[in-house]
C-alpha cells in the first residue's frame, strides 16, 4: 500500500508542478514573447500548441488526441502494477502518467497545450514533456537492465 501512495503522490506532484509552471508563464508572458533565462541558450517562450508531438505534427482532430491520451493513461494505470513490478518501470509509469495527465488537462481545458521551455534546437516544450521523456527513459532502463535472479 505504501508503494501505491508514493506512486500517486509522485504523479500528483508532477501534475501540480506542470500546472504551476504553465500558470506562471501564462500570467507573465504574451504568446510568442521570449525571456532569456540562461544567456539566450534557454528562454521562456509562450507557445499555444495545438499540435501533437512537440507541435511537430498537426492535430486536425482534438477529440482523437484526447481519446489517445485517455487510452494511454488507462493502459499505464491498469497495466503497471501487474506487468511492471520493478522500481524503474513503476517510476517510468508514474512519470509517463504525470506528463500525459498534465498535457491532457491543458488540451481538455484550453483546447491546446501551453509550451514555454525553449532551448532553440528543439521545438518549445513544457514540464509535462520532460516528464514523458524521463518516463520513457526509465522504461528503457527497465527493459535493458539484466533481470534479477
Instruction: Evaluate whether residue 62 is within a structural domain.
Output: yes
Instruction: Evaluate whether residue 32 is within a structural domain.
Output: yes
14: containing domain:
2-144
The single residue listed with the C-alpha cell 501551453 is 114
Burial (0-12, 13-18, 19+ Cβ within 10 Å), 73: middle
Instruction: Evaluate whether residue 70 is within a structural domain.
Output: yes
Cβ(43)–Cβ(37) under 8 Å?
Answer: yes
Q: How many domains is the chain built from?
A: 1
Instruction: Evaluate whether residue 37 is within a structural domain.
Output: yes
List the catalytic residues.
115, 129
In whole angstroms, give the CA distance from residue 31 to residue 142: 39
Which pTM does this prediction carry? 0.83
pLDDT bin (cut points 50, 70, 90) of residue 63 is confident
Q: What is the pLDDT of residue 83?
A: 60
Q: What is the pLDDT of residue 98?
A: 93
> Across the strands, what pairs with 82?
none
In whole angstroms, give the CA distance from residue 127 to residue 67: 21
Instruction: Evaluate whether residue 56 is within a structural domain.
Output: yes
Instruction: Evaluate whether residue 149 is within a structural domain.
Output: no
Amino acid at each position: 500500500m505504501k508503494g501505491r501512495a508514493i506512486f500517486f503522490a509522485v504523479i500528483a506532484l508532477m501534475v501540480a508542478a506542470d500546472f504551476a509552471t504553465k500558470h506562471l508563464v501564462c500570467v507573465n508572458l504574451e504568446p510568442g514573447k521570449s525571456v532569456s533565462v540562461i544567456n539566450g541558450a534557454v528562454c521562456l517562450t509562450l507557445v499555444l500548441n495545438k499540435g501533437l508531438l512537440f507541435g511537430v505534427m498537426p492535430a486536425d482532430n482534438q477529440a482523437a488526441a484526447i481519446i489517445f491520451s485517455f487510452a494511454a493513461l488507462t493502459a499505464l494505470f491498469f497495466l503497471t502494477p501487474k506487468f511492471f513490478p520493478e522500481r524503474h518501470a513503476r517510476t517510468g509509469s508514474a512519470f509517463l502518467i504525470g506528463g500525459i495527465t498534465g498535457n491532457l488537462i491543458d488540451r481538455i481545458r484550453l483546447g491546446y497545450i501551453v509550451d514555454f521551455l525553449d532551448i532553440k534546437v528543439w521545438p518549445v516544450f513544457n514540464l509535462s514533456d520532460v516528464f514523458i521523456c524521463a518516463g520513457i527513459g526509465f522504461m528503457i532502463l527497465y527493459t535493458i537492465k539484466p533481470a534479477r535472479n
